[in-house]
Chain A
Amino acid sequence: MASKDRMMVTEPQEPRAPGFIWPAAICFGAIFLAGILAGYSKAAAEAGKATLAPWAGPLIAATLGIAGLFFYFRRHADWFRALSRRRRRYWTALGLAAVIGGIVGVWASFDQPANRGAIEMAFTGSLSANFAIGASLFWVIGLLVSMIIYHRSIDDHEERAWLWAGLAGWYAFIFPAPVWWVLHRAGLAPPADAMLLFVLSMVANCVVYLWLKFR
C-alpha cells in the first residue's frame, strides 16, 4: 500500500526569496576585515614596517564582500530569474547603489583618525586625497551606471514622482540661493553655503518623492 505521503501531490514551490541575515553577515564580515587590515597597517606604521596602500584594505574587503554577496545571491538565482525584467533591473540598480554606498562609507570611516566624532567624520573633517579621488570616481561612475539601470526599470507612477521631486529640489535651490547671495552682498547674511543649499534641495527632493510614491 502506498503511503499517504506518496499519494500526496507535491505543489510546485515558488523559489525562495533571499533573506537578510546572510547578506548582513557578509557586509559586517567585510567591514570587520577592513578594520583588521586598517589595524594591521597602523601597527605596521608604528613599528616602522611597510604598510598597505591606503586603498588596499578597503579594496580587498569590498572585493571579498561583493564576491560573498554574489555567491549568496547566485544560490537564489531562481528567485531572481522568476522576477519580471523590470523588477530584476530595479533590484540590480538598488543592489549596486547599496554596494557602492557601503564601500564609500566603510572607506570613509577607515580613512580618518579614530578619535574623530561622528559629525566631524561625516561632514567637516579633512579627507585624504586618495579617498577623495576614489570616492568621487565611485560616486560618478557608480551612480551613472546604477541610475541608467534604475530609470530603465521604473514605471510611470515612479517616474512621475521623480519628475515632481526633481522640480521641487530645483525650486528648493533657486528660491533661496539668489536671496542668500544678495543678502550677503548687503552684509545682512553670512556667505552662501553651497552644502546647505545642496542638503535643502535633497530634502525637498526626497520628501516629494516619498509623498508621491508611497502616500
Chain B
Amino acid sequence: MNNKLKVLRAMRNWSQAELADRLDVSRQAVNAIETGKYDPSLPLAFKLARLFAMPIEEIFDDGFEG
C-alpha cells in the first residue's frame, strides 16, 4: 500500500526517530511503513491520522479506484 508518510514527515522536518517517538513505536516500524514493507494496524493508522490531522485515506492509498 502506498502512503505519503515520508513526505508528511519531511514537511515537518522530523527524523524517522522523532516520528517514531511521537507514535510510540520503533524507528524500524516507521521505516517499514514508509518503504511499503509493512502496512500498519488500524489503531496505528488512526494514530498517524490524528498526528498529521488528516483522514487515513489521504495518508494511505490502496490503489483502488471505484
Choose from A156, A213, A215 the contact partner of B25 (Cβ within 8 Å). Answer: A156
Assuming the contacts A84-B21, A156-B44, A157-B32, asked whether A215 and B26 have C-beta atoms less than 8 A apart, the reply is no
The A contact surface, by secondary structure, is helix
Which residue of chain A is the closest to B26 with respect to CB atoms?
A155
B24 near A86 with CB under 8 A, answer yes
Which residues 140-173 of A have a CB within 8 angstroms of B? Answer: 155-158, 160
A84 near B24 with CB under 8 A, answer yes
Contacts of A123 in B (CB 8 A): none
Kindly state whether residue B2 has any CB partner on chain A within 8 Å. Answer: no
Kindly state whether residue B13 has any CB partner on chain A within 8 Å. Answer: no
A157 near B26 with CB under 8 A, answer yes
CA A158 to CA B43, docked complex, whole Å? 15
A156 near B40 with CB under 8 A, answer yes
CA A20 to CA B43, docked complex, whole Å? 36
Contacts of A215 in B (CB 8 A): 37
Which residue of chain B is the closest to A159 with respect to CB atoms?
B41
Which residue of chain B is the closest to A90 with respect to CB atoms?
B26
A158 near B29 with CB under 8 A, answer yes
Which residue of chain A is the closest to B45 with respect to CB atoms?
A156
CA A126 to CA B43, docked complex, whole Å? 51
B33 to chain A, nearest CB (A): 8
Which residue of chain B is the closest to A158 with respect to CB atoms?
B26
B28 near A214 with CB under 8 A, answer yes
Contacts of A158 in B (CB 8 A): 26, 28-29
Tell me which of A85, A156, A213 has the highest count of chain B C-beta atoms within 10 A of its own C-beta.
A156
Which residues 19-48 of B have a CB within 8 angstroms of A? Answer: 21, 24-26, 28-29, 32-33, 37-38, 40-41, 43-44
Residues of A within 8 A of B (CB): 84-86, 155-158, 160, 213-215
9 additional A-B residue pairs with CB within 8 Å, beyond A157-B26, A157-B28: A85-B24, A155-B25, A155-B44, A156-B40, A156-B41, A156-B44, A157-B25, A157-B29, A158-B26
